[in-house]
Amino acid sequence: MSWEILVTCLLISSEFIPDIGLRHTTAMTTDQLTGQLPIVHDLRNSKGHGFQCMVFDGLYMPPFLMTGETAEKTLESIRDIELNDDDVIICAYPKCGTHWVWEVVEMLRSGVIEYRKQVKDTQELELIYKEGADALSAPRTLNTHLYLRMLPKQVVEKKIKCIQIMRNPKDACVSMFSQFRDTIAPVGFEGDLAEFTEIYLSGQTYFGSYSDYLLTWKAELARSPGQPVLKLFYEDMKRDPLKTVKDIAGFLDLAVTDQFCEDIAHSCSFKKMKQVDKDLKEQFIKKKFWKEGSAGYYRKGEVGDWKNWFTVAESEKFDRIWNDKMKDSGVTFTYSP
Ligand code: A3P
Spatial distance between the Cα atoms of 219 and 101, rounded to a whole number of angstroms:
24
Mutation test residue for ligand 1: of 298, 305, 308, 310, the one with most atoms within 8 Å of CB? 298
How far, rounded to the nearest angstrom, does the alpha carbon of residue 224 sit from its chain's CA centroid? 22
How far, rounded to the nearest angstrom, does the alpha carbon of residue 160 sit from its chain's CA centroid? 19
Residue 5's pLDDT is: 46
Residue 39's pLDDT is: 83
24-49: per-residue pLDDT in tens? 333 333 444 445 667 889 999 999 99
Residue 10's pLDDT is: 43
Residue with the nearest Cα to atom 8 of ligand 1? 95
Residue 16's pLDDT is: 28
pLDDT category of residue 288 using cuts at 50, 70 and 90: confident
CB proximity list for 181: less than 8 A, separation 6 or greater:
188, 189
Mean pLDDT, rounded, for 225-242:
98
Residue 135's pLDDT is: 97
Percentage above 90 pLDDT, the chain: 76
- Predicted confidence (pLDDT) at residue 205 exceeds the cutoff of 90: yes
- Predicted confidence (pLDDT) at residue 206 exceeds the cutoff of 90: yes
| pTM of structure | 0.91
How far, rounded to the nearest angstrom, does the alpha carbon of residue 82 sit from its chain's CA centroid? 22
Of residues 236 and 22, more confidence is placed in 236
241-259: per-residue pLDDT in tens? 999 999 999 999 999 999 9
Cα-to-centroid distance, 83 and ligand 1 (Å): 28
Cβ atoms of 86 and 80 closer than 8 Å: no
Spatial distance between the Cα atoms of 276 and 194, rounded to a whole number of angstroms:
33
Residue 146's pLDDT is: 98
Atom of ligand 1 nearest to the CA of 179: 2
Q: Which helix (H) or strand (E) holds 89?
A: strand 88-91
105-114: per-residue pLDDT in tens? 999 999 999 9
pLDDT category of residue 9 using cuts at 50, 70 and 90: very low
From residue 328, alpha-carbon distances to 4, 57, 322, 332 in Å are: 36, 24, 11, 11
Mean pLDDT, rounded, for 269-288:
88
- Predicted confidence (pLDDT) at residue 220 exceeds the cutoff of 60: yes
β-partners of residue 89 are: 142, 162
Residue 298's pLDDT is: 95
How far, rounded to the nearest angstrom, does the alpha carbon of residue 41 sit from its chain's CA centroid? 21
- Of 11-20, 132-141, 182-191, 244-253, give the lowest mean pLDDT range: 11-20
With a Cβ cut-off of 6 Å, ligand 1 is lined by 92, 94-100, 171, 175, 178, 268-270, 273, 297-301, 305
Mean pLDDT, rounded, for 296-301:
94
Residue 29's pLDDT is: 37
Mutation test residue for ligand 1: of 210, 242, 297, the one with most atoms within 8 Å of CB? 297
Cα-to-centroid distance, 48 and ligand 1 (Å): 29
- Of 15-24, 192-201, 322-331, give the lowest mean pLDDT range: 15-24
pLDDT category of residue 72 using cuts at 50, 70 and 90: low
Mean pLDDT of the chain: 88
Residue with the nearest Cα to atom 9 of ligand 1? 95
